[in-house]
Structure 1
């Protein structure tokens, strides 16, 4: 009878543990990237009432008589492989991993390194990405992990411009336009960037030699914001057009000098026509064609407009001039047995002998990706947890009944002496 008592006690203990696990799952139903746990049981020692015997010529084999001594918790397994749903936050540094990888966080010296699925990061007062505990998000470095990722600094505020190397002139020189006389006519040519913050408008002069011959001369570059600020431009080009088609027949390009920098001007988009007999329809423009497509090179100095994280975890600075600068590559880790990781609280995991050592790499190396502006939610299924709660409660009640029944039988045995 004592065996049944202890079996009942073991049943109470294991189902109490199961209820503890269920309660923790339910408590974390809204915890970012929380991974639910499940409990599995196994039976324990058996007492042999008699051993098994082999068959003889006259008798059959006899099975052993064994009485079990209850159950025990064989494992509490975290369901790490089950992906949680996503919840939209719109925050630029909230990130969700699609796949089996983990973010890597730790202190500056990498003496304490942890792994997490919680991608809720913020920028600290020095411009580094950290989690809620102040641990740094780790970048890849030399096949391992680096120190930290800085997304705000003086060095990132601006991106150097690119000096213009070539531009294209468009338009028609009306063959009957008398304004291209002995002094020629100044025309707006093209936009020019000096590679810094300067943006200038190139001014050219076109002088008519005869109906099919013109001279193009560079005059100056004007800062449109400060017309008094000019840069010397030197160089000339002889333009010759076909009297039959009006198309350029001379060299398609000409070389000019702005300050000390060379500039190539493309001329093959220029024509000369008598526009319906009118003499005032000459129009020369540069930089873009009739469809508004930019036809030149160079960029102004850029101002930081955004810090973007791509699907493969590349962190980039994006600038107003179209430039981008890759800052870092977010490190992710995978494990041979991620369920063997040790939960440290605060949505952090650490390595154990069961999990194996991490393999560091990019998230897409394992077929995963990173989505920004969203967080992974808990993977707890409340309907499943409530069902388990009911079965655990009923199992607890049944084991309690075993104990009370055994106690009642012991009480009956006690009454025999009194009788």
Structure 2
């Protein structure tokens, strides 16, 4: 009878424990990262009244006769299932999945938790602001790289953290160049252009007087260009000698005399610059007509531009008479870059530093060498006696004289489908920004484009300056990201010059630029360089990396949160405040660097209220039944006690 009482008491006590666990679960139904617990019961020792016996003879065996002595708690287990995830919008909050736990430290001991309500304190330490424990992980190096095999350290990102500048090495170019253009076959044509005029020269004209003839010529655009030919009476009185000029240019300094008794004839006058004046004279000494066959015309559909060149450099002050300095620069012939050669020769003038332009030529896009009438203005400065050097500083729309014909290059345009532009800032080693402007010009070669460039408004040389597409509009040259057009960008004060390559390929290695029909949509998308920046904000990503956003609009990985896992997470010992510590039965912690994170979210409790209420009813009934066991045993004892009455 006493055993029944003892069993009932154990039942009451252990159901009370179960109710305590259920109550704790319900109390933590809204606790971040809380893991519910459950109670498992087991029976305790049994009193053996009769032992078991084996079969003997004609009798079978018998089972043991035992009376149980009550119930005990077998275990209180922590259930490590995932709770629901609640979005907080706070990007320093983190949640994890599976059996992974965050690692916290107070400097001497590690703690583990599923509650990821983290933030930065005043010194930039990432941790639990309520307890001051620090989140452990790995800090990134200056390049934003994480070594997840290194030792764990407390994550600390001070306010005002700076990002050093990164020098640019490439500009990424993408989208499309129009396949509709016909291309620019640049150059200056030199076929004869004849100007016809008629008039009369009077032999009695006074010496020094001028007779002018004017004809109209027309450009390809339809614009009228008047050309004036002047006949000036020269020579001694009584003679009939004339000099000829066209506009403001004397025709080779030539003159001719019209006789008083002449047979019909033709005079051919060389102007000294590749042009001729053909004059027909009748028997009366009257010029009946003349044709000026000046060589040189401009094909305005493919005309040159940007031909005024500004040079700066040094000429040696101690050069001897006849010393020659020659420099070759590039000019724009229709949008083609062509070599322009200037030769300077030291003169015999008494002025010590007088130089003369003795020759100037350039090679047009067709490969023809053209003679150019050039002048040079020299500004005197104090210079060392060193070899001459020249630098191209700029190119301006101007005029050029080719083979004696002055050509005005202003106002010349090209078909929109034949040119395209793209621009982007690049950065030097000190973070200085430099604007790079690319101009793409379709050449006369099918599928080929020529590339020119400016940096901060000044022309720069381009190597590998041709890109090409096949008949399907697919890029075939260059063939690799580092084989594209390249320029050298002058660094700002204190920074070195640096090369920048045009990258025409996507990250997967396929061409990013095409040549299809339609408008050109080419654009410069990114550069790998950037200016210095100051930290503005920090957020976490799905890999547990803390990403900093800087004032230069760049982002960089600053740190990574480490996770721990145990072979038996249920064996961890609860230490309060949602923390666990390692126990003898939890196993050793293993570091996890590739766990899945939910930034801006927190994991809720995994307590299931419906389950807890069901367990509560069952526990209550169990407690009630055990109490009935005790009262029943008590009544039976009372009956026995009343037998003596």
Measured against the shorter chain, the TM-score band is: 0.7 to 0.9
- Does residue 135 of structure 2 align to residue 137 of structure 1? yes
Structure 2 residue runs without a partner (length 5+): 139-146, 179-183, 187-299, 310-394, 398-420, 439-449, 467-483, 503-519
1:143–1:361 Cα contact (<8 Å) kept: no
Matches within 5 A, 1:9-158: 9-80=9-80, 82-108=81-107, 111-131=108-128, 132-140=130-138, 143=149, 145-154=151-160, 156-158=161-163
1:92–1:372 Cα contact (<8 Å) kept: yes
Structure 1 residue runs without a partner (length 5+): 205-213, 223-232, 242-251, 267-288
Equivalent residue in structure 2 for 1:198, among 400, 412, 432: 432
Distance in 2 between residues matched to 1:61 and 1:312, nearest whole Å: 66
1:234–1:257 Cα contact (<8 Å) kept: no
Matches within 5 A, 1:3-402: 3-80=3-80, 82-108=81-107, 111-131=108-128, 132-140=130-138, 143=149, 145-154=151-160, 156-163=161-168, 180-182=306-308, 184-185=395-396, 191-201=425-435, 221=456, 256=488, 258-259=490-491, 260-263=496-499, 290-294=521-525, 298-319=529-550, 321=552, 323-362=554-593, 364=594, 368-402=595-629
Distance in 2 between residues matched to 1:103 and 1:217, nearest whole Å: 53
* Residue 381 of structure 2: aligned partner: none
- Give the drift of 1:153: 3.9
- Give the drift of 1:59: 2.0
- Give the drift of 1:412: 1.1
1:50–1:65 Cα contact (<8 Å) kept: yes
* Residue 278 of structure 1: aligned partner: none
User: What SS does structure 2 have at the residue aligned with 1:138?
Assistant: strand
Report which stretch shifted further, 186-195 or 348-357.
186-195
Distance in 1 between residues matched to 2:618 and 2:2, nearest whole Å: 26
Q: Relative to structure 1, is the Cα distance of residues 391 and 326 closer, same or farther in structure 2, using a 3 angstrom cutoff? A: same
1:234–1:258 Cα contact (<8 Å) kept: no
1:12–1:399 Cα contact (<8 Å) kept: yes
Distance in 1 between residues matched to 2:526 and 2:567, nearest whole Å: 54
User: What SS does structure 2 have at the residue aligned with 1:372?
Assistant: coil
The alignment of Structure 1 onto Structure 2 pairs a total of residues equal to 358
User: What SS does structure 2 have at the residue aligned with 1:96?
Assistant: coil
Q: In angstroms, what is the RMSD of aligned CA positions?
A: 3.6
- Give the drift of 1:351: 0.5
Q: Relative to structure 1, is the Cα distance of residues 23 and 43 closer, same or farther in structure 2, using a 3 angstrom cutoff? A: same
Q: Relative to structure 1, is the Cα distance of residues 57 and 378 closer, same or farther in structure 2, using a 3 angstrom cutoff? A: same
Which of the two has greater helix per residue?
1
TM-score (norm 2): 0.50
1:101–1:332 Cα contact (<8 Å) kept: yes
User: What SS does structure 2 have at the residue aligned with 1:333?
Assistant: strand
- Give the drift of 1:340: 0.4
1:162–1:301 Cα contact (<8 Å) kept: no
1:313–1:369 Cα contact (<8 Å) kept: yes
Distance in 2 between residues matched to 1:387 and 1:121, nearest whole Å: 35
- Give the drift of 1:199: 2.4
- Give the drift of 1:315: 2.6
User: What SS does structure 2 have at the residue aligned with 1:87?
Assistant: strand
2:167–2:431 Cα contact (<8 Å) kept: no
Distance in 1 between residues matched to 2:526 and 2:575, nearest whole Å: 58
Q: Relative to structure 1, is the Cα distance of residues 149 and 66 closer, same or farther in structure 2, using a 3 angstrom cutoff? A: same
TM-score (norm 1): 0.74
- Give the drift of 1:190: 6.3
1:202–1:221 Cα contact (<8 Å) kept: yes
- Give the drift of 1:195: 3.9
* Residue 338 of structure 2: aligned partner: none
- Give the drift of 1:87: 0.5
1:167–1:190 Cα contact (<8 Å) kept: no
- Give the drift of 1:118: 0.7
Q: Relative to structure 1, is the Cα distance of residues 290 and 3 closer, same or farther in structure 2, using a 3 angstrom cutoff? A: same
Deviation string 1:64-119 (CA, Å, 9 cap, x unpaired) is 21111110001000102x111100101111101022111100123xx211111111
1:138–1:145 Cα contact (<8 Å) kept: no
Distance in 2 between residues matched to 1:117 and 1:147, nearest whole Å: 19
- Give the drift of 1:411: 1.1
- Give the drift of 1:5: 0.5
Structure showing greater radius of gyration is: 2
